Structure 1
């Protein structure tokens, strides 16, 4: 489907580019010649022809650089080259077949001018060179994810990382934020009759639970 759309785009861009280049070249040439005749200039007079040439350049750039089917640049390039190539075979026949006397928005449209000065031949060759790009024939690459990569494409896998760096699984275990591990046994729980404020008996002293007295031996 992309080949069909690119083919149609080439058929449309070629004549539009021919017209825009003609308007830009003729407008720029007449403006500069007028400046030379009167000995002064006014740069806003070049805005209109510059817009024509700029739009033509954008269309040619999109057709020649985007990664679409190469049929578009191929068709447009051939259509722009054929008139100039025909000048080598039958120049008067070619010139007679090119319409003359057209106008666009009141401006004259001399379509023979870009053929005679070779501009169409130059643009056509540039478009044909874009056809030789191998990436245009392959189309857009499919997006790949990390899970689809083979070991050869992704050698640094998680399972091979400790072995490749000389570290063991124990070394890769996350630390406990710097706190030491609790290896001591819990203290014995106090009985219900024992006061929390009573001090433990000294060594050699025996406590009598009935009398509350301490026998020091």
Structure 2
């Protein structure tokens, strides 16, 4: 498919480039002509002449650098060289009145590019560009670069919780954390201090006599 599309580009691109070069050459010829220019010819200034040549150069440059397939540049180069050969043997074939009259150009407009021998230079350039070995290789698909994290894990800083499956809001208030309570002693003290009343003595274990409380000397 890419070869067919490249051939279409090469065919129509060459025809349009030849026509643009014919318009540009006609304008330059009439701009430098000492005599009067026919009134029905609009291409008669240097600005139009250079613009036509620039358009032709852009189209042919696109064909020369086309990465789609080398078939298009090869066809374009062959057509240009064939056009030069037709001009050398039978230039009357370029006098297409139906085209030149419709575009309001002189009948010899399509002959001007071949009379300057420009198709020889451009045709050889296109064939040389198509002869590159890199042009015949099928473009390889780019493989994605490997990542440092697993596909199942979100990248760092993405705000995604892989466990709760919920986005993490870094500005959301978090629940306070508490320190673990101290371990309860194996033998509780005999005295209980509730902070409000005097020290209360716990009842003695069964089988023991109660002992009077001892207070520190003040």
TM range (shorter): 0.5 to 0.7
Q: Which residue of 2 aligns with 1:72?
A: 72
TM-score by length of 1: 0.60
- Residue 216 of structure 2 aligns to a residue whose secondary structure is strand
2:93 matched residue in structure 1: 97
Greater RCO (CA < 8 Å, at least 6 residues apart): 1
Deviation at 1:142, TM superposition (A): 0.5
2:133 aligns with 134
CA distance in 2, matches of 1:144, 1:195: 73
Deviations 1:178-216 (A, max 9, x none): xxxxxxx9744698944469xxxxxxxxxx753775235
The superposition leaves residues 81-138 of structure 1 with CA deviations (integer Å, 9 ceiling, x where unpaired) of 1233466xxx3x3323332653353222522222122111111112112202333211
Taking structure 1 as reference, are residues 193 and 83 closer, same or farther at Cα in structure 2, changes over 3 Å only? same
Q: For 2:3 and 2:82, how far apart are their aligned partners in 1?
A: 22
C-alpha RMSD over aligned residues: 3.8
**In 2, Cα distance between the equivalents of 1:196 and 1:81?**
112
Aligned length: 163
Which structure: larger Rg? 2
Deviation track 1:33-71 (CA, whole Å, cap 9, x = no partner) reads 459xxxxxxxx9333233322322222122221211110
Any residues of structure 2 matched to 1:1-217 within 5 Å, and which? 1-33=1-33, 45-85=45-85, 91=88, 93-99=89-95, 102-108=100-106, 109-147=108-146, 187-188=182-183, 193-195=192-194, 209-210=200-201, 214-216=215-217
Structure 1: stretches of 5+ with no match in the other structure? 36-43, 149-156, 159-184, 198-207
Distance in 2 between residues matched to 1:30 and 1:56, nearest whole Å = 19
Question: What is the CA–CA distance in structure 1 between the aligned matches of 2:81 and 2:195, rounded to whole Å?
Answer: 106
Q: Give 5+ residue unaligned stretches, structure 2.
A: 36-43, 150-179, 202-211
More helix by share: 1
